[in-house]
Structure 1
Amino acid sequence: MKTFSSAALSDLPGLRHAFFTRDGGVSKGIYAGLNGGLGSDDSPADVAENRKRMAEAIGVGIDHFMTVHQIHSPDVAVATTPWDVASRPRADAMVTATPGIALGVTTADCGPVLFADPKAGVIGAAHAGWKGAFTGVLENTINEMEKLGANRPDITVAIGPLIRQPSYEVGAEFVTRFTDADPDFARFFIPSSRENHSMFDLAGFIRMRLVGAGITAIDDTGIDTYPDEQLFSYRRTVHRKESDYGRQIHAIVLAR
């Protein structure tokens, strides 16, 4: 099973993390590999087996491998005890101070962002697509970590594989939404080869929001999901006119 990791998080004591790829799973067809997407039309049994393998890889039981029902929101769930799939909260980030609970976010182009304050023993995980990053999911994750005892200057953050600027073309109305909120946001766009289109720097926007929230230790994997066939990509699926797409999971856990 191939995973990506953050050197910055790997250097911290008392936790484990992984940015999972498609490698090592049982799904077939357009979902081939390690599809963890409960919202996909993949075989539920295959998705369950894939998630079990990811839980084992990060050192927890499947009942402690937690995800939320993601809705592209700024909302954050606090995990104190495990929840099952049926009762999982509708949110786009999670935080915990409980060892042994793995926090996982699913992505297929959006930004997976993992947070850790090892001194306080508090971690977080956020699903930061453009909408979540724009509306405050990153700042809200940090705020909820602080409520659990984290100290903002001690938080290390890792940005995982996501769709990068060379692959992320958007229309004029998308640009306007950002520049109407803050004219300075224009710096996250460069011209596309198509008229009235631009290329959006989601990773740069995420980093800017983190820095603005007082985070200084930020590690970015630099990996682009769109051209990398070992990762699922929603946009690549759309361009290929495929009927659905898989999701990778990215997870972090405090060691017991």
Structure 2
Amino acid sequence: MTATPALHAANLDLPGVRHAFFTREGGVSEGVYGSLNGGVGSKDEPARVLENRARMAGRVGVAPERLLVPFQIHSADALTIREPWAPEARPRCDGLVTREGALALGVTGADCGMLLFADARAGVIGACHAGWKGALTGMIEATVAAMETQGARRADIHIALGPAIGATSYEVGPEFSARFLEADRAYARFFSPSPRAGHSLFDLQSFIAARVERLEVASFEALGIDTYADEARCFSYRRSVHRQEPDYGRLVSAIALAG
């Protein structure tokens, strides 16, 4: 079998660290899930999702049961992980951190931001899912803070953002932008006029980049891929809604320390 396709961030090519921003290519799912659907919460056939997850695990060098993806709830909670959990015991959170080898930390997304973190010197990694709510309420900061409790230093932490919805694809209503402006009027710079009256376009990727910049970490890299526009490589919740499709696939991004 050929290696499962994946995208990589140059700043995460670090000693002892493996990572992958998986696309929708290289799996066994069909239809709207074609083909590398990693969403156990989707309506896809479970056996196909498990096979897809196994292929992803192999790509980052761990056994399938050691690719850990939480039950994501759009929170700002990050957990430190020391061992695999049973499938029925997935923690409800949006960030994971570990210093254990041969454990892959993963998050899913289909428009929301998926971020991977690594401090190769300290041997600490992290992953988080940050949509607009998580990014606004501190999910990225919580992941860095959790890494610091495990010995990581901000000056040594490298962060990369995988595929996420792009600014030209993310139209929002006035109540959405109001939430951001209530938090900080300076956030107006992440909104631009939309052709539709009363609406605007939100730049989630730039907002995430700005939140990371404030943390003063070693480096940040964004792949700059718009999940909505890049149908060949990406699943998109918003695109599926606009097309009135019955469900949608989930992308997975994962990172591991060599065991």
**TM category, shorter:** over 0.9
Aligned to 1:137: 139
Distance 1:84 1:48 in 2: 14
| 1:51 aligned partner, one-letter code | R
Runs of 4 or more, structure 1, over 6 Å off, are none
SS at match of 1:125: strand
Distance 1:151 1:239 in 2: 43
- Match of residue 253, structure 1, among 248, 253, 256: 256
| 1:106 aligned partner, one-letter code | T
Aligned to 1:193: 195
Aligned to 1:238: 241
Identity score, percent: 55
**Structure 2 alignment gaps of length 5 or more:** none
TM-score in terms of structure 2 length? 0.97
**Structure 1 alignment gaps of length 5 or more:** none
Distance 1:31 1:196 in 2: 34
Aligned counterparts, 1:98-137, within 5 A: 98-137=100-139
**Contact 2:235–2:249 (8 Å) recurs in 1:** yes
Residue 9 (1) aligns with residue 12 (2) = yes
Distance 1:82 1:42 in 2: 24
Distance 2:77 2:96 in 1: 9
Residue 80 (1) aligns with residue 106 (2) = no
- Alignment RMSD, CA only? 0.8
**Contact 2:116–2:160 (8 Å) recurs in 1:** yes
TM-score in terms of structure 1 length? 0.98
**How far 1:237 moved relative to its partner?**
0.3
Aligned residues: 255
Distance 1:57 1:120 in 2: 23
**Contact 2:154–2:218 (8 Å) recurs in 1:** no
SS at match of 1:142: helix
**How far 1:215 moved relative to its partner?**
2.1
| 2:173 aligned partner, one-letter code | G
Q: Deviations over 1:8-49 (max 9, x none)?
A: 112x11100000011111111111100000110110111111
Distance 1:18 1:240 in 2: 29
Distance 1:222 1:194 in 2: 25
**Contact 2:97–2:125 (8 Å) recurs in 1:** yes
Distance 1:80 1:50 in 2: 24
Distance 1:215 1:118 in 2: 13
**How far 1:216 moved relative to its partner?**
4.3
Aligned to 2:97: 95
| 2:255 aligned partner, one-letter code | I
Aligned counterparts, 1:140-179, within 5 A: 140-179=142-181
**How far 1:214 moved relative to its partner?**
2.3
| 1:234 aligned partner, one-letter code | Y
